[in-house]
Amino acid sequence: MRDGRLEIAPHNCFACGSLNTHGLQLELHAANDVCWTELVLDARFEGWAGIAHGGIVCTVLDEVMAWALVEHDLWGVTARMAVEFKRPLPIGTRVRGEGHVVEARRRLVTTRGVLFDEARTVLATAEGVYVGASEARKAELKSRYAFRIVPERGADRLAAEAVVAATGAAR
């Protein structure tokens, strides 16, 4: 897979859409078969005082796992997702979410994701199953979202490799 920033046409997705002013507006990247994003959540994404809402944590994990499919020329929707919350995510903390494809069988794709802080403390992990789109639908999605990977300097390869190794070992 090529390394770089994922460029996606403007759209309203809550997680990655640049047109959704109330959303996360995640900037997604690719390196070493991992889709990743870094972000700092502000108070509007709070659950209990000072802690990110669990649904937001799930959204970040779902997004990096879903876009990891596209890196392999697979497009799909979430069929099932299991999340383990390891530690609370404090509002205002820089975190990194990463997702990668574990297995692709016909139209079912299994992924893993992890969310960790700057000290590399794991905050949450996830496993997802996605149902792949038909070839016709995939062509429509590619056209609509004009997806491409834009090379960038210094894509964070070491962090991506470390997390793939850690999530594989955590099974």
Are the C-beta atoms of 117 and 94 separated by less than 8 Å?
A: yes
* Structure-derived torsion over alpha carbons of residues 117, 123, 128, 134, reported in degrees to the nearest 10: -30
Domain boundaries, the chain: 4-169
119-146: average pLDDT: 94
20-70 pLDDT, tens per residue? 999 999 999 988 889 999 999 999 999 999 999 999 999 999 999 999 998
Query: What is residue 43's DSSP assignment?
Result: G
pTM of the model: 0.85
* pLDDT tens readout for residues 64-96: 999 999 878 889 999 999 999 999 999 999 999
* Domain 4-169: which CATH number of 3.20.20.80, 3.40.50.300, 3.10.129.10, 3.10.580.10: 3.10.129.10
| CA-based R_g, the chain, Å | 15
**Which residues are CB-contacts of 34 (< 8 A; sequence separation ≥ 6)?**
68, 98, 99, 100, 160, 163, 164
| Confidence grade of residue 170 (pLDDT, cut at 50, 70, 90) | very low
